[in-house]
Amino acid sequence: MTKADIVNDISKNTGIEKITVQKTVEAFMEAVKDSLVANKNVYLRGFGSFIVKKRAKKTARNISKNTTIVIPEHKIPAFKPAKSFIGKVKANVK
């Protein structure tokens, strides 16, 4: 499902104009991104959490040059679904 599909679905279900829904969806995504960049997690009860995870420093290999490189400690965005959300996805087995 794409962002356009989400906008169309919300617009159809609520009767709100697509342009308004699109602006709202984009504003929501910007708010989540800005929060994660500021190292603040976003919690949506019943849906899940957008969190910032810390990856530890590690040693890796560059196989093409046969050298060892060090990947420094860094942070990545992640999504952790709510238990009720996981349950609904698991129950939908075909």
Residue appearing with tokens 């490189």: 69
Distance between CA atoms of 18 and 31, rounded to whole angstroms? 20
Q: Reply yes or no on whether the pLDDT at 86 is more than 90.
A: yes
The percent of residues above 70 in pLDDT, for the chain, comes to 99
pTM for the whole structure: 0.79
Q: What is the pLDDT of residues 63-73, one digit of tens each?
A: 899 999 999 99
pLDDT at 3: 95
SS3 category, 48: strand
* Residue-wise pLDDT tens digits, 10-25: 999 999 999 999 999 9
User: Distance (Å, rounded) from C-alpha 83 to C-alpha 89?
Assistant: 10
Look up the CATH architecture of domain 42-94. Answer: Irregular (4.10)
Question: DSSP secondary-structure letter at 92?
Answer: -
pLDDT in tens, 32-52: 999 999 999 999 999 999 999
The residue ranges of every structural domain in the chain are 1-40, 42-94
Give the pLDDT band of residue 94 (cuts 50, 70, 90): low
Distance, CA of 58 to CA of 65 (rounded, Å): 18
State the DSSP string of 4-44: HHHHHHHHHHH---HHHHHHHHHHHHHHHHHHHHTT--EEE
